Amino acid sequence: MVLSSIFPDERPRTITSFDYFDLAEGTGIEVYDGMVISAQTGIAPHSTQVIKYILHQDSIESDGVEKSKSGSTTADDEAFDIDLDLSAFNLPKDIKGTALVTINGSMTGGDGAINHSASFEFKLYKWDGSSETLLGTGYSNPLGTVTIGTNTFYGATEIPILTEVHFKRGDVLRLTVIAYTRSSNAGQGGTVKLDIDPVTAGEELKLYIPFVIDT
């Protein structure tokens, strides 16, 4: 007689820990930090700087080359668009619920008669190496309103994920951040800066993802 038929193995196949979880909703929250890393393919000249934006589960030092992304546009135009990718999943995952993005940055303006601010669009995707599947989109309030000088800001934006999305082994979770400058004068815009540094207070970008768990 096989002993496993008498004493079935009820040990979990995997061990997963979450930053926090909601038993009623069956959701476990994982928190990821935005980071900047080197993206060279070989030894580069001193003047060459190639960087990559990623998500990481640990709050560790970003690359020293650049820890922020800034752009200047006319009003309501896109200042910049960046993708932050998590490492490919080694085990299947399911995501559903309300994700949250928190950001820090600054807005700079140069005309005392014009109000400048920044607005952000956040998109979550499943990336399989060839195509993107949209999970959800969130939009921030106008942030960092300023006329002359620089005003720092903090923002938190929800991203509803209404349909459960399955990630197989090898799939990647991607956060796309699109920044826009806003202005009270349609012909002018300020400069928006997004900080991406996990270990400096007031410069973190964090992503909170709701994974579906068995309860």
The CATH number of whichever domain residue 117 belongs to comes to 2.60.120.260
Evaluate if residue 203 carries a pLDDT over 90: yes
In a domain, 159, yes or no: yes
Domain count for the chain: 1
Give the model confidence (pLDDT) of 116-131 as tens digits.
999 999 999 999 999 9
More confident residue, 54 or 18: 54
Give the model confidence (pLDDT) of 10-49 as tens digits.
444 344 577 777 666 777 999 999 999 988 899 988 888 8
In a domain, 14, yes or no: no
In a domain, 9, yes or no: no
Instruction: Give the phi and the psi of residue 198 in degrees, each rounded to 5.
Output: -65, -25
In a domain, 1, yes or no: no
More confident residue, 145 or 12: 145
Show the domain range for 93.
Answer: 20-212
In a domain, 4, yes or no: no
Evaluate if residue 8 carries a pLDDT over 60: no
pTM over 0.85: yes
> CA neighbours within 13 Å on the CB side: how many for 134?
8
